């Protein structure tokens, strides 16, 4: 493949945790390797990394969640008839899919192509991706005995992830790669529900009816997803994003008591690795003050709250990321352009701003619209008209 050239709060759990399945001790006293892109200079001065660290680069960085996926014809051609999770664990394919939107759109970052349930699969849980539905487990994890059957993740199982990241970083050059992982609550919700759910009622029921089992399950989720994230960073990712897609179903009190400590535990797996960290969740405005205590540098904001309102809650120590409404991607260009202008203006209220969507790219999106957005955000106004 040719080389691409792209220009506290200190909350704590309320219940003791007995015999938690553990991914092993969190490593301390380590640092990024000399050949890491943040250390050897390839990505340290990129617009994305600078913005995550609180600077205002000359060009506002932009990337899209789910930018590598079904909206791209080259992705559909490559993935035709194949298994999603198998693609994630085939280094050549995962790397190629990660690179596709960078080549096509000229975005300021790649995000590693994988799925949040990959570490769960690698830890021995029988999970599969059903087209049109998402991750599905034929045998959900719903009881204390189910949780105690969960096994630690063998670090060697992450070798395909490490290989794919290393290959991708080699191709990206000065464009940073973002590593990602699912937050413990969202992972646990999939495990308990057995698949996607509108309200996560079984998961929330377990959280309330058996808090001990819940805490044990979330510790396990925190460790496997933390290891997954760390493997990506160690292999060359220049930033790390934790996705908590379903956290909006929780009250603030439940988040603080039953979820926050475990999200913190997942991110603690990155201790010693000096990379920017980002949190994104849907419907998180009421827990913004708690998210700031996770130790992140940037907070992803969905389309429901204006960026200046989010910045006022988060404070001046945090970069905001977002928050173009995905529903606007099918609007006429004048309306979409006005919306982007509003997002850019409101993003000025934060210390720095990374443009993104308020959620992921819908599969039916015209790829040319995404390219046009990138060029417009980058200041190529004539080319984007």
Report whether 359 belongs to an annotated binding site. Answer: yes
Report whether 142 belongs to an annotated binding site. Answer: no
372 is catalytic: no
How many CA atoms lie within 13 Å of 374's alpha carbon, on the beta-carbon side? 19
Residue from 115, 223, 244, 290 carrying the catalytic annotation? 115
Report whether 115 belongs to an annotated binding site. Answer: yes
Report whether 190 belongs to an annotated binding site. Answer: yes
Report whether 348 belongs to an annotated binding site. Answer: no
115 is catalytic: yes
Report whether 167 belongs to an annotated binding site. Answer: no
Residue from 42, 50, 52, 66 carrying the catalytic annotation? 66
79 is catalytic: yes
Report whether 68 belongs to an annotated binding site. Answer: yes
Residue from 53, 70, 162, 286 carrying the catalytic annotation? 70
Residue from 52, 104, 108, 190 carrying the catalytic annotation? 190
Report whether 255 belongs to an annotated binding site. Answer: no
70 is catalytic: yes
Report whether 281 belongs to an annotated binding site. Answer: no
Binding residues: 66-70, 115, 190, 245, 359
- What residues are annotated to the active site? 66, 70, 79, 115, 190
- Binding site listing for substrate: 66-70, 115, 190, 245, 359
């Amino acid at each position: 493949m040719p080389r691409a050239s792209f220009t506290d709060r200190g909350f704590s759990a309320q219940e003791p945790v007995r015999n938690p399945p553990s991914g092993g001790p969190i490593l301390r006293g380590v640092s990024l390797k000399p050949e890491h892109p943040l250390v050897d200079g390839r990505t340290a001065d990129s617009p994305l990394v600078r913005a995550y660290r609180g600077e205002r680069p000359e060009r506002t960085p932009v990337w899209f969640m789910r930018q590598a996926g079904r909206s791209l014809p080259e992705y559909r051609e490559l993935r035709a008839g194949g298994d999603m999770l198998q693609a994630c664990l085939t280094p050549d394919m995962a790397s190629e899919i990660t690179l596709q939107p960078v080549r096509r759109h000229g975005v300021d970052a790649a995000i590693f192509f994988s799925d949040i349930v990959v570490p769960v699969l690698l830890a021995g849980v029988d999970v599969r991706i059903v087209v049109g539905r998402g991750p599905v487990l034929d045998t959900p994890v719903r009881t204390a005995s189910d949780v105690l059957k969960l096994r630690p993740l063998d670090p060697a199982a992450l070798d395909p992830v490490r290989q794919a990241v290393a290959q991708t970083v080699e191709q990206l050059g000065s464009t940073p790669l973002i590593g990602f992982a699912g937050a413990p609550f969202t992972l646990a919700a999939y495990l308990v529900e057995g698949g996607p759910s509108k309200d996560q009622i079984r998961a929330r029921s377990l959280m309330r009816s058996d808090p001990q089992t819940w805490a044990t399950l979330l510790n396990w989720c925190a460790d496997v997803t933390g290891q997954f994230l760390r493997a990506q960073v160690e292999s060359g990712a220049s930033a790390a994003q934790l996705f908590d897609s379903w956290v909006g179903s929780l009250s603030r009190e439940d988040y603080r008591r039953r979820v926050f400590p475990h999200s913190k535990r997942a991110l603690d797996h990155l201790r010693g690795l000096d990379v920017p960290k980002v949190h994104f969740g849907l419907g998180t405005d009421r827990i913004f003050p708690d998210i700031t205590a996770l130790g992140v540098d940037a907070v992803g904001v969905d389309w429901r709250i204006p960026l200046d309102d989010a910045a006022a809650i988060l404070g001046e120590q945090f970069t905001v990321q977002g928050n173009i409404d995905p529903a606007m991607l099918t609007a006429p260009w004048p309306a979409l352009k006005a919306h982007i202008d509003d997002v850019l203006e409101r993003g000025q209220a934060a210390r720095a701003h990374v443009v993104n969507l308020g959620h992921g790219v819908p599969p039916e999106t015209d790829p040319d619209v995404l390219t046009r957005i990138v060029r417009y955000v980058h200041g190529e106004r004539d080319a984007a008209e």
